[in-house]
Chains A and B, each alone.
Chain A
Amino acid sequence: MNMDDRYGADALERAILELPLEETPEGLRTSILMATAYRPAPAFSFFELAVVGSLGAVALWLIVLLVMGGGSLFVHTLATIGAGLSRALSNPAILAWIAAGGATALWVSLFTGSQPAVAASRRSERRAGR
Chain B
Amino acid sequence: MRAEPSDGDLVTMTLRGNSEAFATLVERYDRAVYHLAYRTLHDVEEARDATQEAFFKAFRSLRTFKPEAKFSTWIFAITYHACCDRLSRRKHYSGDELPERADPTPGPEQRVIALDEASRLRAAIDALPEKYRTVVTLFHLQGRQYEEIATVLGLPMGTVKTHLFRAKEQLRRLLGEMEVTES
Contacts and interface: CB of A to CB of B under 8 A. Distances in A.
B82 interface: no
Contacts of A13: 139, 144, 168
Interface size classification for chain A: 35 or more
B23 interface: yes
Interface of B, secondary structure class, is helix
A113 B60 contact: yes
Given A36-B59, A111-B63, A3 B176 contact: yes
A15 B121 contact: yes
Contact of B176 (A7, A9, A23, A33): A7
Contacts of B118: 15, 18-20
Interface of A, secondary structure class, is helix
Interface residues of B, number: 45
Contacts of B144: 13
Given A28-B48, A35-B55, A36-B59, A21 B31 contact: yes
B70 interface: no
A119 B14 contact: yes
B12 to A, nearest CB: 12
Contacts of A120: 19
Given A3-B176, A36-B55, A115-B62, A25 B139 contact: no
A25 B44 contact: yes
A122 B38 contact: no
A17 interface: yes
A48 interface: no
Contacts of A36: 22, 26, 55-56, 59
A31 B54 CA distance: 13
Contact of A9 (B51, B64, B168): B168
Contacts of A25: 34, 44, 48
B51 A28 contact: yes
A113 B58 CA distance: 10
Contacts of A56: none
A24 interface: yes
Contacts of A6: 175
Interface string B148-170: 00000000000000000000100
B104 interface: no
B9 to A, nearest CB: 16
Contacts of B22: 36-37, 119
Interface string A26-68: 0011011101111000000000000000000000000000000
B37 to A, nearest CB: 9
A29 B32 CA distance: 12
B45 to A, nearest CB: 8
Given A3-B176, A116-B60, A119-B18, 13 more contacts: A16-B121, A18-B118, A19-B122, A23-B31, A24-B51, A28-B52, A32-B26, A37-B14, A37-B19, A37-B59, A111-B64, A113-B60, A115-B14
